[in-house]
Amino acid sequence: DPDDWGRFLIAVFEEWVNNDLGRVQVNLFETAVAQTLGMPAQICTHSEFCGKGLAIEKNGDIYSCDHYVYPEYQIGNIANTPLSHLAFSERQKAFGMGKRDTLPKYCQACPYLKMCWGECPKNRIVRAPDGEAGLNYLCPGIKAFFNYAEPMLVGLATLIKRDYSGLKR
């Protein structure tokens, strides 16, 4: 349930901020702080593009992503083609660019676009309020999380910037 997902993220974020910050890494939250600082996302689900995390099977088959280990997303086999050729192929680039290029207008207008980027394309299985296909089914929970966390993310980013500027003196 998307709302449960949002409540879960908020509860874990509160725990992290209050008790674990600097001691326990939670990739989603670390990425949100980094993005608030203007840095790129550290995880593919919140990056503008995807396709950097190829999946390899024991027989050498390479897939565009570990969430897409299906025949139509097999881009080759390392027994026949160097991994670098597969990773930087036009087909793989198109897969990665598709994450941004297929966002519904609802996402493009969202205040949290640059934090979320529609999350994982595999989760884009519902329609936006305007009826356009391709909305992430977790969107309401993700938006609730960012709406709640944004002031704290800005505060954390400010503290980090202050510490970094102090190091430069």
pLDDT at residue number 163: 81
pLDDT at residue number 168: 55
Q: Is residue 17 part of a domain?
A: yes
pLDDT at residue number 34: 96
- Identify the burial level of 82 via C-beta atoms within 10 angstroms of its C-beta, where 0-12 means exposed, 13-18 middle and 19 or more buried: exposed
Q: Is residue 168 part of a domain?
A: no
Q: Is residue 156 a contact partner of residue 31, using CB atoms and an 8 Å limit?
A: no
Based on the structure, what is the number of domains in the chain?
1
C-alpha to C-alpha distance for 117 and 120, rounded to whole angstroms: 8
Q: Is residue 92 part of a domain?
A: yes
Q: Where are the beta strands (DSSP E) in the chain?
A: 55-56, 61-63, 74-77, 126-127, 133-135
Q: Is residue 109 part of a domain?
A: yes
Q: Is residue 169 part of a domain?
A: no
Q: What is the CATH number of the domain that holds 134?
A: 3.20.20.70
What range does the domain containing 143 cover? 2-163
128: left (phi over 0), alpha (psi -120 to 50) or beta: beta
pLDDT at residue number 164: 67
pLDDT at residue number 153: 98
pTM of structure: 0.88
Active site residue 20: no
Tokens of 73: 């997303």
C-alpha to C-alpha distance for 66 and 58, rounded to whole angstroms: 13
Q: Is residue 27 part of a domain?
A: yes
Q: Distance from CA of residue 22 to its chain's centroid?
A: 21
Q: Is residue 62 part of a domain?
A: yes
C-alpha to C-alpha distance for 73 and 92, rounded to whole angstroms: 9
pLDDT at residue number 22: 87
pLDDT at residue number 162: 86
The one catalytic residue among 61, 66, 101, 163: 66
pLDDT at residue number 166: 55
Q: Which residues of the chain have pLDDT under 70?
A: 164-169
Angle at 50 between CA 159 and CA 80, to 5 degrees: 135
